[in-house]
Amino acid sequence: MRSVSTAASNATEEVQLGDREFAKIAVYAKKHFGLSLSDNKKPLVRSRLSRRLRSLQIGSFSDYLDILDDAGSAEEPTELLCLLTTNVTQFFREVHHFETLRDEVLPPLLDAAQNGKRVRIWSAGCSTGPEPYSIAIVLHALCPNAHKLDIKVLGTDIDPVVVRQAIAAEYGPKDLAQIPKVYANIVTGGGSLAPRLPDEVTSLVRFGTLNLIKPFPFSGKFDAIFCRNVAIYFDKETQQDVWMAFANALTPDGFLFLGHSERLSGPALQRFRGTGITTYQRIS
């Protein structure tokens, strides 16, 4: 990696992101993360990466690309991913999906679970954890002994930083206030105790780091998959590959929940039928 002067690092804010460097960053992001960076994202990329250049005390985007190309730099790809994406999440976001989960998806699954059947739900792109924990809250409300059955919610994200936060399950009162009143009694705490999610809820959830553009490492199937506001970062070809991978990862008649601005496209349309707002069921 080329060395730079202190003066150059102090001037990072003024460094321009050339077309050549932007193209290389876009290729890298697509190859490693599936992210689609069109030309109109160039100002955003420059703005966000300029912060990282200042932190690293380097004075050009060429120098930054040298760091990315260094096979020994395990940290930098994650830093790049964090800068290029936005983690926006909350408990029970797009609440209609959780109503469908409660009213249509879970009742037959829980009946089967009481008779020994395994139930698996996947939150793909779980960020800091409110989505998988919201799923677990619904499970617990419908079936208070769910944590004693063969029921698990898997939360995965490509970003190991947010996965660690999700595992910690440390949420403030403002975060937990997003939980609908019908489930409010599940959140424990009171008096001098800070509100928190009970063990019966958190024990239902497992977390891991996973890249959706890589082959899924699962042998079993999922009864439902939540992948909301993740595919917006992919181009259409990558989206369609992910949709098909989800179809193959679901049980017959399993459900797929997408974000409010996402729609299935391509060959996956032959594998699913729409059942509600950005809600799909696999055709068995």
Distance of CA 54 to the CA centre of its chain: 28
**Is 282 marked active-site?**
no
- Per-residue 3-state assignment (H helix, E strand, C coil) for 176-216: HCCCCHHHHHHCECCCCCCCECCHHHHCCEEEEECCCCCCC
For residues 152 and 206, the answer to whether their CB atoms sit within 8 Å is yes
Task: Order the strands of the 119-124 sheet from edge to edge.
Answer: 205-209, 151-157, 119-124, 222-227, 250-258, 279-282, 272-276
Instruction: Please choose, from the candidates 120, 74, 151, 67, the residue with its C-alpha nearest in 3D space to the C-alpha of residue 226.
Output: 120
Neighbours of 103 (CB within 10 A): 10
Residue 49 in tokens: 């990466």
Neighbours of 14 (CB within 10 A): 8
Q: Exactly one of 157, 223, 271, 282 is catalytic; which is it?
A: 157
CA distances (Å), origin 263, targets 36, 115, 230, 232, 266:
17, 35, 12, 10, 10
Neighbours of 181 (CB within 10 A): 7
**Is 48 marked active-site?**
yes
Alpha carbons 154 and 207: distance in angstroms, whole number: 6
Alpha carbons 224 and 124: distance in angstroms, whole number: 11
For residues 17 and 61, the answer to whether their CB atoms sit within 8 Å is yes
Q: Exactly one of 48, 54, 118, 196 is catalytic; which is it?
A: 48
Catalytic residues: 48, 157
